[in-house]
C-alpha cells in the first residue's frame, strides 16, 4: 500500500468554499503539503501550508508549484465584483483553464473545480454560458482525472453582502421542505458541504471525467 502523503495545490483558498477546503486539507492525514496560490496573504499559519503570492496573469512563471498530486480550483467572482463581463470571464474561464493546463503539464493526477448549477455553453445567461464553456475547455485538456462540481446557490458566512444568497437564507425555512425529488438539486448548499465533497471525492482517487450536480455534492459531503 502506498502510504506516501499527497501534495495538494489550491487556488481560490481565500474564498467561501476555498477557505473551508483549505482547512479540511490541512487537517487531513492524506495530504502532507498544501500549497495555496493567492493574490493576497492568508493569515493562517500551519506547518503543512505553503503560500505563494502570485499574479494570476503570469501564472506560467510559477509552474513548478503545480507538480502536486491534486489541484483544487475554487476561483470565481461575480460580474458586479469584477466590473465587467470580460473581467468576470478572466477569473472564471481564463485563470481556471491556465491552472488546469499547468496541472496537466506538471503531471498532476487530479483536477477538481467548482462550476455551477446550470452550466451550459449554449445558455443565453452569460454566467451559465461561461461555466459551460470552461467545463468543455477543461475536458479538452485531458487531465487523468477531472471532477466538476455544480453547486446550487452557496450558503455560508461572507464578509460582503450578496443579495441572492441573503434572500435564499431568509426564505429557506419556507421553501426548503418543498424541494424534494427532482427539485432537490435546487436546494441552496452550504459552502462547507461543497468543500467536504471535493475532499471526499479527491480521497477516492478515481480516474476519468465526473460531473456532480448539487444533490450529488451533498451526498458526497459525508465522511467515508
Ligand atoms: N455564490 C454562489 O451562490 C455560487 C453558486 C454556484 C457556484 N458558484 C461558484 O463557486 C465558486 C466558488 O465560489 P465562492 O463563493 O467560494 O467564491 P468567492 O468567495 O467569491 O471566492 C473566490 C476566490 O477567487 C479569488 N479571485 C477572485 N477574483 C480573482 C482575481 N482577479 N485574481 C485572483 N483570484 C481571484 C478570490 O481571491 P481574493 O480573496 O483575493 O479576492 C477568492 O479566493 C465560484 O466559481 C462560483 O462561481 C458560486
Q: Is 8 in the pocket of ligand 1 (CB under 6 A)?
A: no
Residues whose CB falls within 8 Å of the CB of residue 71, separated by 6 or more in sequence, listed in order: 8, 9, 10, 11, 99, 100, 103, 108, 110, 111, 112
pLDDT value, residue 160 = 72
The answer to whether residue 48 scores a pLDDT higher than 60 is yes
On whether the 6-216 domain is CATH 3.40.50.720, my answer is yes
How far is residue 8's CA from residue 15's CA, in Å, rounded to a whole number?
A: 17
What mean pLDDT is predicted for residues 37-44? 94
Which pLDDT score is estimated for 68? Answer: 98
Minimum CA distance residue for ligand 1 atom 21? 15
pLDDT band at 16 (very low <50, low <70, confident <90, very high): very high
127 a catalytic residue? yes
Predicted confidence (pLDDT) at residue 181 exceeds the cutoff of 90:
no
Which residue in the block uniquely carries the three cell numbers 468576470?
Answer: 88
State the pLDDT at residue 157: 85
Query: Per mean pLDDT, which range of 42-46, 75-79, 106-110, 162-166 is the poorest?
Result: 162-166
Spacing, Cα 75 to ligand 1 middle (Å): 4
Mean pLDDT over residues 204-217, rounded? 95
Neighbours of 134 (CB within 10 A): 25
Query: Which of 38, 76, 161 to mutate for ligand 1's pocket (most ligand atoms within 8 Å of CB)?
Result: 76
The CB of 168 under 6 Å from ligand 1? The reply is no
pLDDT at 29: 94
Residue ranges per structural domain of the chain: 6-216
Which stretches within the chain are classed as H helix? 16-27, 79-82, 85-89, 95-105, 126-141, 163-175, 191-204, 214-219
- pLDDT of residue 178 exceeding 80, the answer is no
Decide if pLDDT at 149 tops 80: yes
Catalytic residue among 7, 35, 104, 131: 131
**Facing residues of 9 across strands?**
35, 71
Amino acid at each position: 500500500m502506498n502510504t506516501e502523503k499527497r501534495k495538494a495545490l489550491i487556488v481560490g483558498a481565500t474564498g467561501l468554499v476555498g477557505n473551508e477546503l483549505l482547512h479540511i486539507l490541512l487537517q487531513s492525514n492524506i495530504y502532507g503539503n498544501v500549497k495555496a496560490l493567492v493574490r493576497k496573504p492568508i493569515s493562517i499559519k500551519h506547518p503543512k501550508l505553503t503560500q505563494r503570492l502570485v499574479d494570476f496573469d503570469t501564472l506560467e512563471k510559477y509552474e513548478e508549484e503545480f507538480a502536486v498530486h491534486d489541484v483544487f480550483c475554487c476561483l470565481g467572482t461575480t460580474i458586479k465584483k469584477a466590473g465587467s463581463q470580460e473581467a468576470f470571464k478572466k477569473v472564471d474561464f481564463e485563470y481556471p483553464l491556465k491552472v488546469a493546463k499547468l496541472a496537466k503539464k506538471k503531471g498532476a493526477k487530479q483536477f477538481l473545480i467548482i462550476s455551477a448549477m446550470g452550466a451550459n455553453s449554449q445558455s443565453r445567461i452569460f454566467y451559465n454560458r461561461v461555466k459551460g464553456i470552461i467545463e468543455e475547455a477543461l475536458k479538452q485538456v485531458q487531465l487523468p482525472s477531472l471532477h466538476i462540481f455544480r453547486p446550487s446557490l452557496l450558503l455560508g458566512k461572507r464578509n460582503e453582502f450578496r443579495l441572492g444568497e441573503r434572500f435564499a437564507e431568509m426564505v429557506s425555512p419556507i421553501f426548503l421542505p418543498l424541494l424534494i425529488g427532482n427539485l432537490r438539486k435546487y436546494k441552496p448548499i452550504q459552502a462547507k458541504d461543497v468543500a467536504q465533497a471535493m475532499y471526499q471525492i479527491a480521497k477516492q482517487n478515481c480516474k476519468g471525467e465526473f460531473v456532480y450536480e448539487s444533490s450529488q455534492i451533498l451526498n458526497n459531503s459525508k465522511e467515508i
